[in-house]
Structure 1
Amino acid sequence: MHDHRKLGRELDLFDTDPLMGAGLPYWLPDGAIVRHTLEEYVREAERAAGYRHVYSPVLGKRDLYEISGHWDHYREDMFPPMDLGGAEQVVLRPSLCPHHALIYRSRSHSYRELPLRIAELGGMYRAELSGVLGGLTRVRAIHLNDAHIFCTLEQAVEEARAALALIARAYADLGIRASRYRLSLPGEGGKYVADPQLWRRATALLREVLDGSGIDYEAAEGEAAFYGPKIDVQITDPAGREATLSTVQIDFHQPERFDLHYIGPDGAKHRPVMVHRSVIGSVERAVAHLLEEHGGAFPTWLAPVQLAVLPIAEAQEERAHAVVRRAVALGLRAEVSGPGDGTLGARVRAARLVPYQAVIGDREADAGLAAVRLRDGRRPGAVPVAELLERIAARAGDRGAELWPAA
């Protein structure tokens, strides 16, 4: 069974330091590559789906979260306010949606602009207790792949359905399997907004989304957000522990609280619906799950090093560096592991999680070849360097899982 905490340290992906604090991991260079590649994948997918990206600050005035309802319903999970003098207090944000509501409100909007899809991969902070923190799955600084779609009531179901389809495509590319879909509803207790009509409308629309998508789901009480129900896409780790990775929500509460509107075809003001969605959830939890799912053997396009070039002797080192330069020029991540790093056998073992290894001896160097070893143990033999690099670039470009076609 793979534990992402152990793998993350063995592979030099991330770590923590008591002086930084519990639940505040830092990313080492190889981990930063995985994170950056994952973030760029999501941004690219969102751009193709019509999202526009924004940046917003990680701080907000306490008044902002009083309006959104976070202060009344979510305060125990927020860090204490910071006094700036006088009556002004700011808070580390627990969520991005209030900021996006303000971004929407900052300009007037016509019905012709809707749906307006705003996305951000931004930081938010939760005051988690020390006893529940662990690795990347429970942290205090979260980097969330978040988005909010401002649309008409008639557009809400289709937008939520499209968000579920975007999640499914991302899971296919990443090799993530959804264990189940959950319709998260309110439970007993006072943490929820008291508006029965809001809950009925939003729940009915989410059921329409799930039923229209042909998705089997289970309803679960007590799992809703404080302002409305949500669709949670659940994943299960190798130890059998279940967690939420992705979500889709239909929200009538915050558009009301922030007095959002658009100008309809009749020239009058109308209230938009706010669809919240996260494709991969937090980057931290997504990387933790990918580490455990793949045992550190990331798909080629996500691997920190995609090609390890292994010269047999010092005489081939210059040729090895030339291969790496050609690989880098093609946008690949390649490194030389030379004789100074140990015997050839030791270097092959050290690069066991790298998708491709290119061994270069005298014969290969003279002929412009590389003896290829694959992570899965296959040895396709000596291949022209140009062909090898083209194959790797193709696999990285199409996010294919197959390293080499079967003979």
Structure 2
Amino acid sequence: MYDHRKLGRELNLFDTDPLIGAGLPYWLPDGALIRHILEEYIRSVERQAGYRHVYSPVLGKRELYEISGHWSHYSDDMFPPMDLGNEQVVLRPSLCPHHAVMYRSRSHSYRELPLRMAELGGMYRSELSGVLGGLTRVRAIHLNDAHIFCTLDQVADEAQAALEMIRRAYEALGITPTRYRLSLPGPGGKYVADAEKWQRSTALLTDVLERFGLAFEAAEGEAAFYGPKIDVQVTDGAGRESTLSTIQVDFHQPEQFDLHYIGADGAKHRPVMVHRSIIGSVERAVAHLIEQHGGAFPAWLAPTQLAILPISDAELPNAAALARRCAELGLRAEIISAERGSLGARIREVRQVPYQAVIGAKEAADHYVSLRLRDGRRLDPQPDGDVLARIRAFVDAHGTALWDNAARHCPERKS
């Protein structure tokens, strides 16, 4: 069982400092690299799915959140407003009000819908110190968020497409969901009072889950204040369950912000707002990945993808040449030279690196490498160019496989 708080520090991925504050981790170079790769992966997936990316400020006037409903339903989890001249500004607790305003800033035709707006943006929650921990519960959150503005008839297809994006991302990251939850409102005044909207949005999400063939459990009291959610639940090594990904149907904010589009009939119509997050917050996603893989990340996500191990200093020029070729191919390689210990000790040092290329005198003379895989397999010596091409192919596949068993042996070596 792995604890990301301990392992993440041992791997030099992130840390915290009392001077910065509780719930405000900072990212060290390898952690920042993982985060950057993960963010670029999800942006690429979104672009392929027709999303357009935006940036919006992390501050907003208090009035913005009064209109959205956050101030009346969610202010206990928000930081206090800051006085700025004659107005008050607030660190945003979510991105959706900004995106609603951005949609409203331009006129839209039904021909433009669905309009998919995505942002990997910062938001801030005033979490109590007692619940903060590592990367899973923080006060500064960077959310893979998106809002789809669409017609009522398009909601089910958009939500189902988001579920498929989640499935593909989990496959690439090696994440297994624990369960799917239909999060519904509970008693009390926490939720927007509009029974008809709740019934419509709940029916839509129930239909999506059933069409996708997913078993799910209903959970009262877990909805957003404005609408029900599909929550994808994961479990950490200690058995604690949390939400990683989510899809929400929102009739409330389009009405609050008076959003509309021009229909085929020339009249104004109200869009539906579908909220969705494929990997949730970057912080929680990385925390789960650390624990899921014990720091041995999928090859495409690993900070160092290839460790180059020359047997002695005589092979250092070949190792340096191989490292340069890796850089040209966009592979992340590090030379682990003989001054760092015996070959066995160095291999143990890089045991979490997906690929380990050993270069001895014979390999150097022939421009071959003896490749070891993180899972313990040792492949026959192969031409270094062939090895790098194969590694590049596995990295580009964005999967969890390191190598295929059908290609474990290389052609005969040159004499």
**Alignment partner of 1:297 is 2:296:** yes
**Greater CA deviation, 127-136 or 397-406?**
397-406
Alignment partner, residue 412 of structure 2: none
Counting only pairs closer than 5 Å after superposition, residues 29-108 of structure 1 correspond to structure 2 as 29-86=29-86, 88-108=87-107
Alignment partner, residue 119 of structure 1: 118
Alignment partner, residue 346 of structure 1: 345
Moved over 3 A (4+): none
Alpha-carbon distance in structure 2 between the residues aligned to 1:186 and 1:405: 48
In the alignment of these two chains, the number of paired residues is: 406
Which amino acid in structure 2 is aligned with residue 286 of structure 1? A
Give % identity. Answer: 73
Alpha-carbon distance in structure 2 between the residues aligned to 1:319 and 1:214: 53
Alignment partner, residue 180 of structure 1: 179
Counting only pairs closer than 5 Å after superposition, residues 155-174 of structure 1 correspond to structure 2 as 155-174=154-173
Which amino acid in structure 1 is aligned with residue 77 of structure 2? D
Residue-by-residue CA offset, 1:154-178 (whole Å, 9 max, x unaligned) = 1111111111111111111111111
Which amino acid in structure 2 is aligned with residue 186 of structure 1? P
Alignment partner, residue 218 of structure 2: 219
Counting only pairs closer than 5 Å after superposition, residues 346-385 of structure 1 correspond to structure 2 as 346-385=345-384
Alpha-carbon distance in structure 1 between the residues aligned to 2:121 and 2:387: 38
Alpha-carbon distance in structure 2 between the residues aligned to 1:175 and 1:330: 24
Counting only pairs closer than 5 Å after superposition, residues 269-288 of structure 1 correspond to structure 2 as 269-288=268-287
Residue-by-residue CA offset, 1:180-236 (whole Å, 9 max, x unaligned) = 111101111111111111111111111111112111111110000001111111111
Alpha-carbon distance in structure 2 between the residues aligned to 1:388 and 1:39: 27
Offset of residue 95 of structure 1: 0.2
Alignment partner, residue 130 of structure 1: 129
Alignment partner, residue 21 of structure 1: 21
Alpha-carbon distance in structure 1 between the residues aligned to 2:370 and 2:162: 44
Which amino acid in structure 1 is aligned with residue 302 of structure 2? A
**Greater CA deviation, 33-42 or 251-260?**
33-42
Which amino acid in structure 1 is aligned with residue 241 of structure 2? E
SS in 2 for 1:274: strand
Residue-by-residue CA offset, 1:33-65 (whole Å, 9 max, x unaligned) = 111111111111101111000000100011000
The alignment's C-alpha RMSD in Å is 0.9
Alpha-carbon distance in structure 2 between the residues aligned to 1:103 and 1:131: 36
- Structure 1: runs of 5 or more not aligned: none
Alpha-carbon distance in structure 1 between the residues aligned to 2:117 and 2:5: 33
Offset of residue 347 of structure 1: 1.3
TM-score with structure 1 setting the length? 0.98
Alignment partner, residue 332 of structure 2: 333
Alpha-carbon distance in structure 2 between the residues aligned to 1:261 and 1:322: 59
Offset of residue 400 of structure 1: 3.3
Offset of residue 78 of structure 1: 0.3
**Greater CA deviation, 333-342 or 286-295?**
333-342
Which amino acid in structure 2 is aligned with residue 354 of structure 1? V
Offset of residue 401 of structure 1: 2.5
Offset of residue 381 of structure 1: 2.7
Contact 2:171 2:399 in 1 (8 A): no
Alignment partner, residue 5 of structure 2: 5
Residue-by-residue CA offset, 1:56-87 (whole Å, 9 max, x unaligned) = 0100011000000000000010001111122x
TM-score with structure 2 setting the length? 0.96
- Structure 2: runs of 5 or more not aligned: 409-415
Offset of residue 240 of structure 1: 1.3
Which amino acid in structure 1 is aligned with residue 381 of structure 2? A
Offset of residue 404 of structure 1: 2.4
Offset of residue 345 of structure 1: 2.0
Residue-by-residue CA offset, 1:258-313 (whole Å, 9 max, x unaligned) = 00000011111100000000000001111111111111111110111000001111
Which amino acid in structure 1 is aligned with residue 212 of structure 2? S
